[in-house]
A and B are shown apart, each in its own frame.
Chain A
């Protein structure tokens, strides 16, 4: 093996990096990084080894931070990360994704108010892919609870012209031409908050998390404000897979690194019920058959008085075998499983609110 797992953690007060030795037993934590700015997403680019952190500060605005020495030193930039003067300025950066075939230089950033940017120089400068905001539906996009945010970025693993994005609360959009033109991909997903005869609109759904499946580029999963869904045709049509779950509401979803039928979720008790663990007992829910059936994974997780939630970007898997699974809570606890979710250990607590968890294996 000899591989080392880094956990990249975004919080309301900076980024943290946890590293685990190759025996997979103990973790060490470093941080907070990024001058304790609110950080929404921290990602690693396995092609270059660079780590990027996306966020925004009430004083100094949005920026993407970067380290090429695993956190020892950081730079930040927002060059080009702006809208024209007549538009509402960008408040924060919410999501990052290295291009699947970008050779370590190309990455995408999703921002608030919702829009998409691309960098071709490793995050030093950015340009707006304005086609998304030129979509005719844009004047009708409505903000979700966290604002009008582009929080989900799913580059196609093989075709660099294809990309899916998730916007709260405008829904899922897809481009096949590198971001010039877009189409909504929400058919079959509900908007229960709309009037009864308008619950399956073309756009306007409150998607919470969008992920793709390994080896099946046209398979997508989404946790929605209103249900859990799978698509096997690139999002053209969605099928509900929420039967067997304790709730149709939750935020994160994380797919297994090799098995497209294995997915992890953290259902919460409901959007108007407090948004914490169902019955105040912590569980990660796993399907091994693409969402046809679900099992609760509880070993090692607290089973009473659990009133935390897990945010949309705060769960991840690694690519080891067996796969590691990780999630961070709104209350600042970080849990890890080294056995595909069968058992869990709390590896950090008392952190600020955890907004994101990603892995980088080096």
Chain B
């Protein structure tokens, strides 16, 4: 389990699932970034690792059905607000066979 240590001032900490990180060479499990909504988190991740938005969101656009995003422990969508110091968990839901 990775730790959600306190982020730098004005930043949220974002924790990414291993299956996602594996798809992007050099990507890290723990990212600190500035964002005011979940959609901006996705945009910031996509800027660091091009293509990551497509893995997390579909074309509606919304968070993919089997991806869960929690902001400070609450289930979130793309419009959910993020405050400085927030903890954003991106999780692969149970799926497959």
Within 8 A of B (CB), among A82-101: 82-85, 87, 89-90
Contact B23 A35 (CB under 8 A): yes
Known: A59-B66, A59-B95, A61-B64. A84 touches B54 (CB 8 A): no
Minimum C-beta distance from B61 to chain A (A): 6
Query: A interface, by DSSP: helix, strand, loop or mixed?
Result: loop
> A83–B60 Cα gap in the complex (Å)?
9
> A121–B37 Cα gap in the complex (Å)?
34
- Residue of A with least CB distance to B58: A89
Bitwise, A67-93 to B at CB < 8 A (1) or not (0) is: 000000000111101111101011000
Contact B51 A58 (CB under 8 A): no
Within 8 A of A (CB), among B39-66: 51, 54-56, 58-61, 64-66
Bitwise, A6-49 to B at CB < 8 A (1) or not (0) is: 00000000000000000000000000000100000000000000
- Residue of B with least CB distance to A84: B59
Total contacting residues, chain A, CB less than 8 A: 18
A58-B95, A59-B19, A59-B20 known, 15 other contacts, Cβ within 8 Å = A35-B19, A59-B93, A60-B20, A60-B54, A60-B55, A61-B58, A63-B54, A63-B55, A77-B51, A78-B51, A81-B54, A82-B59, A83-B59, A85-B61, A90-B59
**Partner-B contacts on A (CB < 8 A):** 35, 58-61, 63, 76-79, 81-85, 87, 89-90
Return 22 A-B CB contacts under 8 Å, by A number.
Answer: A35-B19, A58-B66, A59-B20, A59-B55, A59-B66, A59-B67, A59-B92, A59-B95, A60-B23, A60-B55, A60-B56, A61-B55, A61-B58, A76-B51, A78-B54, A79-B54, A82-B54, A82-B59, A84-B59, A85-B61, A87-B59, A90-B59
